[in-house]
Structure 1
Amino acid sequence: MPYPLLRRALFTLEPERAHDVALAGLDRAGPTLLGRLYGDRVPRAPVHALGLDFPNPVGLAAGLDKNADHVDALGALGFGFIEVGTVTPRPQDGNPHPRLFRLPRHEALINRLGFNNRGVDHLVQRLEGRRYRGIVGVNIGKNRDTPLEHALDDYRHGLERVHAVADYITVNVSSPNTPGLRSLQSGDALTELLAGLDKTRRSLDAAAGRRVPLLVKIAPDLDNEGIDALATAATTHDIDGLIATNTTASRDRVAGAPHAEEEGGLSGAPLLQPSTAVLARLAARVDARTALVGVGGVVDAAGATAKFLAGARLIQIYTGLIYRGPSLIRDAVRAAQRTG
């Protein structure tokens, strides 16, 4: 079935229900069929970043497969890498329903899911049993009821648990849906968090005999001073990469649209310009050792091109996949080839 027809059918369902139905459909189709339909059509465009070799620079952003339940099917679509999570130490339900909203005219979503997941032990078990041999990153967060002054304990626990099953690990301090979380992006809180995680990561790496890259995912709503400070902190604490960006709290680009006033983070096409501006500023302020991952607003080849031109070594998609379908992966990889 052509994706526009499938999307029309899925969009008759409540958004979170459609999400579950789509993932279940991918699982039923299976990696072999999905590879023939989509993955085999994605050209190879190898890139070396984060000390890893990627078959192409287009990945799946965290949030779509929070529990690593669908890695085999998603990996068959042709992604260069898959990022799962955000996962927390303990399972949590997230925020009350409804908590996911479509803005179709803007090719956007608003979510206030709130790190709903089955907990890190479940995710580790799923990754231990995966058949997909490609690159998998794990995005870690803190439980909602963990006080901010103890956030490092949650992140350290996540880091310790996923280190053996992750190719890289992302520290999520930028979701707008966990109260106070974004305060960890700056000041003493950021310094304490990054210093503590860097120390733990070094110990784990030494024991395992391999370096697992550590990345930080940041918000698009930081001012220039905040972006610059975060870039400096990342370099100081040997962070391997920065993911720019998470969803935005701003509604400037969707004002007046149905659901625009819902609380939560806005993703999709309206995020392209502000997230790419953050990416470009970071590119001017970090050295070559810090890999930049561009995410936010990529719904077509032009959006992918903008990310690469702004300094991204890798990019990720999520909302664009929902609106455009798996062919977006191929289009984005071709954009990478043209800009490379």
Structure 2
Amino acid sequence: MADLLSRVARTLDPETAHIWAIRALGGWGKAGAPLAGAMPRLGTRVAGVSFPNPVGLAAGLDKDARAVSGLMALGFGSVEVGTLTPRAQPGNPQPRLFRLSEDRAVINRMGFNNGGLAAGVARAAAADRRGGVLGINVGANKDAADRVADYVAGVTRAAPVADYVTINVSSPNTPGLRDLQAGAALDELLAACVAVRGATPLFLKIAPDLDRAGIDGVARAVIDRGVDALVIGNTTISRPALRSAHAAETGGLSGAPLRSLAAAKLGEVRAATGGQVPLVAAGGIDSGAEAYARIRAGACLVQLYSALVYEGAGLPRRLVGELAACLARDGFANVAEAVGA
């Protein structure tokens, strides 16, 4: 059923398909679909949180926490909702979401479109997590006079509900947002957010476009401020060779063409942090073998999103099974043994 829904969705305009999929998954979750069967080998603990498996849904699909239960039922060990901003905002003008089918990629310039922090967090609090982990991704409004204050508001509101909160300073679709990834601006932001997160783990999501100096600066800041994990990374503004007619669209590129860049940046971040900070790998992950490669390169968890467009809603269960087989083949009793191996 899930794969049939995925095939139908690919016949629709990308943003219409997105909306339709969230509605369908929201209804499916209410119907009582169970979480994918537990695999003890895949259970792992990161930042003090127990994940039933290391395969998570990246932020951006369920922006307003409308389909948490249905998404968990697909087999994800974690679902990250958002990005949520303090006030509702419409995002950028349409069209703003493009399928690059020939490249198995997506370009988006959505611009943090969401219904606002209060409504999103309330839905997240009411969601049936089905034994999975819930992350809430927070950001700043486009017209915010004080972006640090927006992040503080997001962390303050989300922390009592979420299993972890992610600070998203890496979207390329809000002008100036990525400037918060560097120097004194990043240190100020992290200090302010750590001060209000309570006991809830705090993750930081960075761009795959950072150079090595930028990565070194992020590593120092997260270690100094006690951030619990780094997500590497968001979409890229770089453009490898692409075949699609939409290749020249502005926005963030995700999917298969991001794979090599994301993997390389994971290695750089692992080297810069020296294993002191748990890492979450995202970008171009579409198989158990790729998830396993990122884990062996130092990731404790992996996230996917764009691959669902092309592989269908059955992908999480298949990927989890493939990952378990990879671990068993190489004699690892659990995910933690394979991290950085």
TM-score of the pair, normalised by structure 2? 0.91
Q: What does residue 212 of structure 1 align with?
A: 200
Q: Secondary structure at the match of 2:175?
A: coil
**Is contact 2:171–2:234 with CA below 8 Å preserved after alignment?**
yes
Q: What does residue 164 of structure 1 align with?
A: 160
CA distance in 1, matches of 2:53, 2:65: 21
Equivalent residue letter for 1:285: A
Q: What does residue 283 of structure 1 align with?
A: 270
CA distance in 1, matches of 2:32, 2:292: 29
**Is contact 2:82–2:136 with CA below 8 Å preserved after alignment?**
yes
Q: What does residue 146 of structure 1 align with?
A: 144
Matches within 5 A, 1:104-253: 104-133=101-130, 134-147=132-145, 150-201=146-197, 205=198, 211-253=199-241
**Is contact 1:32–1:76 with CA below 8 Å preserved after alignment?**
no
Structure 2 CA distance for partners of 1:2 and 1:142, relative to 1, 3 Å: closer
Q: What does residue 208 of structure 1 align with?
A: none
CA distance in 1, matches of 2:25, 2:220: 41
* 1:72 CA displacement: 1.3
| Residue 26 (1) aligns with residue 13 (2) | no
**Mean alpha-carbon deviation: is it higher for 266-275 or for 280-289?**
280-289
Equivalent residue letter for 1:218: I
Equivalent residue letter for 1:190: L
CA distance in 2, matches of 1:2, 1:187: 45
The unaligned stretches of length 5 or more in structure 2 are: 328-337
Q: Secondary structure at the match of 1:284?
A: helix
Structure 2 CA distance for partners of 1:9 and 1:184, relative to 1, 3 Å: same
CA distance in 2, matches of 1:176, 1:151: 15
CA distance in 2, matches of 1:122, 1:231: 33
Q: What does residue 318 of structure 2 align with?
A: 331
CA offsets 1:147-174 (integer angstroms, 9 cap, x no match): 4xx2110000111111110110000000
Equivalent residue letter for 1:144: K
CA distance in 1, matches of 2:25, 2:276: 37
Q: Secondary structure at the match of 1:275?
A: helix
Structure 2 CA distance for partners of 1:293 and 1:143, relative to 1, 3 Å: same
**Is contact 1:301–1:328 with CA below 8 Å preserved after alignment?**
no
Q: What does residue 330 of structure 2 align with?
A: none
The unaligned stretches of length 5 or more in structure 1 are: 206-210
Structure 2 CA distance for partners of 1:70 and 1:8, relative to 1, 3 Å: closer
* 1:118 CA displacement: 0.4
**Is contact 2:57–2:78 with CA below 8 Å preserved after alignment?**
yes
* 1:228 CA displacement: 1.3
TM-score of the pair, normalised by structure 1? 0.91
CA offsets 1:48-84 (integer angstroms, 9 cap, x no match): 1111111100011000001111111111111111100
**Mean alpha-carbon deviation: is it higher for 289-298 or for 176-185?**
289-298
Q: What does residue 80 of structure 1 align with?
A: 77
Q: What does residue 64 of structure 1 align with?
A: 61
* 1:306 CA displacement: 2.3
Q: Secondary structure at the match of 2:272?
A: coil
* 1:6 CA displacement: 4.2
Q: How many residues align?
A: 325
CA distance in 2, matches of 1:131, 1:9: 26
* 1:284 CA displacement: 1.7
CA offsets 1:264-320 (integer angstroms, 9 cap, x no match): 000101111101111111112224441100011012223212211221100011011
Equivalent residue letter for 1:230: V
* 1:194 CA displacement: 1.1
Structure 2 CA distance for partners of 1:299 and 1:56, relative to 1, 3 Å: same
